[in-house]
Amino acid sequence: MVLYRFEFAAMACANELQLWGEDEADVRRAAEFAIADVRRIEAKYSRYRADSVTSAINAAAGGAPVPIDAETAALLGYAERCHRVSGGLFDITSGVLRRAWNFRRQPPRVPSDSELAALTPLVDWTAVEWNERAVRLPRAGMEIDFGGIGKEYAVDRAATCCAERGLAHGLVNLGGDVRVMGPQPGGAPWRVGIRHPRRDDAALASVELFEGALATSGDYERFFEIDRKRYCHLIHPRTGAAASTWQSVSVTAPLCVVAGSCATIAMLARESAEVFLASQAVDYLMVDAHGACRGPLQPAS
């Protein structure tokens, strides 16, 4: 068997597939299917594209219901479950808080209470009216986005796509969200490095994966610092506060979409993070505000 590597750009990330296979044409075909599906999901759900499903739903906020297909309904269903198990911490309507938390503004500044208070009525997943066929955002200005689910969902689908084409040994990595299909040939695990939350060029640890997924959420993806205090892009949906308890949370789970949503919820869950992660029966490695690691995930040195 030969290891084939495919690198591609999508979802504003550098991505790669590593696939072991006997026949290059077979592997290449599987990779093409997987990459096409990633691009399909990006086109369908990106909030940066005016013709996406997400944009159509957001553009109709306060107006008529927007018809949706089964895939979109399933994603909304998963988002609802995340909202429920997180006590509302995971809320796909919270993206409007970015209007106050502008990470591109120079110089950066922390939004005022009144700026946030003006937006909080627009953050309320429970107000969204939806069923299997249609969704309606009840208030003008409301938005949803599939950040925290969409890319991870694409990882899982890409892995399934390859597995269903007979590739039993492979790895999908979309911008750091990883899923492996089985160990490497011969049974060796895949070694996946976890980025150090404070050093761009260093690995904090490496984790051995035989099967399943690893996703990391951290305060280093988009942030600014004022007076040596870091404000990251993960915003509490009700208080409008930036998450600050953890520098990063890495989670392993059977599916990437589970690992990703658990990591996001844990980042927002402050001191309840470990209780939450344990309740989801996932393993994790968390870095607290002082840089100390904790969690059952044993980093291979």
> Which of 192, 233, 57, 229 is closest to 130 using CA atoms?
57
Question: Least Å distance between CB 170 and other proteins?
Answer: 12
Residues near other proteins (CB under 8 A):
70-71, 73-75, 77-78, 80-82, 84-89, 110-111, 113, 116, 131-133, 153, 156-157, 160-161, 163-164, 229, 231, 236, 238-242, 244, 253-255, 257-258, 261-262, 269-272, 275-276, 279-281
Comparing CB distances to other proteins, the nearer of 182 and 204 is 182
Whole-angstrom CA distances from 292 to 71, 187, 236, 263, 296 are: 40, 32, 23, 17, 14
- Which lies closer to other proteins via its Cβ, residue 153 or residue 204? 153
Cα–Cα dist 289/72, whole Å: 36
DSSP 128: -
**Nearer Cβ to other proteins (130/190):** 130
141 vs 128: CA distance, rounded Å? 13
| Closest-CA residue to 70 (of 133, 142, 147, 113) | 133
* Angstrom distance (rounded) from CA 191 to CA 211: 11
Beta carbon nearer to other proteins, 27 or 257: 257
CB of 159 to other proteins, least distance (A): 8
Considering the complex, what minimum distance in angstroms separates the CB of residue 247 from other proteins? 14
Of 85 and 293, which CB lies nearer to other proteins in the complex structure? 85
Instruction: Name residue 104's amino acid.
Output: R
- For residues 57 and 136, what is the distance between their CA atoms, to the nearest angstrom? 7
